[in-house]
Amino acid sequence: MANHDALPLVVLTEQFAKLPGIGMKSAARLAYHVMSMEADEVEAFAHALLDAKKTVHYCECCENLTDQSRCPICENPDRDSSVICVVETPKDITAFERTGQYNGMYHVLHGLISPLKGVMPDDLKIRSLLRRVQAGGVEEVIMATNPTVEGDATASYLSQLLRPLHVSVTRLAFGLPVGGTLEYADEVTLYKALENRNEM
């Protein structure tokens, strides 16, 4: 924004531009929008920011985000605590919950091992996962990291740590997306679909 703009607007624009996926133009648009909001709406927004940051933290069991000491999934006695699905982010839990087909527990790593980005195993929530498995009662750990180089590397690393603990370590299946067509599938996906073919 040009320097003839009111300074508090420039500051607000810069704050919006720090958010992921929001460039300077979108940030300026959002800052102008805030100007057109009612004062109590802006206060509600600012309060929601502070409140979320203050009250939401990691679940002491699965590292999911929660405003309690343990998240509702860990607290739910109807869920199967013998299966742990390991994901990269809390958002991935939302995706699994939407399927309505998974009744086990989760564990959020909060990242993937990536030496290039300076993310080492110690930066992830791996120790708390190992503690959960060592505490007993876990039969299967599902590696549900993304099918990327970093996701695969993290899954491999974890499976090496987990196998000595006598749990079954599995990985999500890769293949054609349901509703997709062969024509538009990339080579690697098609190869995985062929490799993992099932008896009909």
| Residue ranges binding a copy of itself (CB under 8 A) | 1-2, 4-9, 11-12, 14-15, 18-21, 26, 28-35, 37, 39, 41-56, 65-68, 71-73, 89-91, 93-94, 97-98
Which residue lies nearer to a copy of itself by CB, 5 or 196? 5
Contact 73, 61 (CB under 8 A): no
Least distance from a copy of itself to the Cβ atom of residue 42, Å: 4
Contact 199, 178 (CB under 8 A): no
Least distance from a copy of itself to the Cβ atom of residue 88, Å: 12
C-alpha to C-alpha distances, 98 to 91, 146, 171, nearest whole angstrom: 11, 17, 19
Contact 13, 31 (CB under 8 A): yes
Which residue lies nearer to a copy of itself by CB, 83 or 169? 83
Q: Reduced to 3 states, what is the DSSP secondary structure of residue 150?
A: helix
Which residue lies nearer to a copy of itself by CB, 70 or 192? 70
What's the token pair of residue 127? 């120790």
CB atoms < 10 A from the CB of 63, how many?
23
Contact 108, 99 (CB under 8 A): no
Least distance from a copy of itself to the Cβ atom of residue 28, Å: 7
Which residue lies nearer to a copy of itself by CB, 31 or 167? 31
Least distance from a copy of itself to the Cβ atom of residue 157, Å: 22
Least distance from a copy of itself to the Cβ atom of residue 188, Å: 26
**Which CB contacts under 8 angstroms, 24+ apart, belong to 7-11?**
9/35
Which residue lies nearer to a copy of itself by CB, 4 or 197? 4
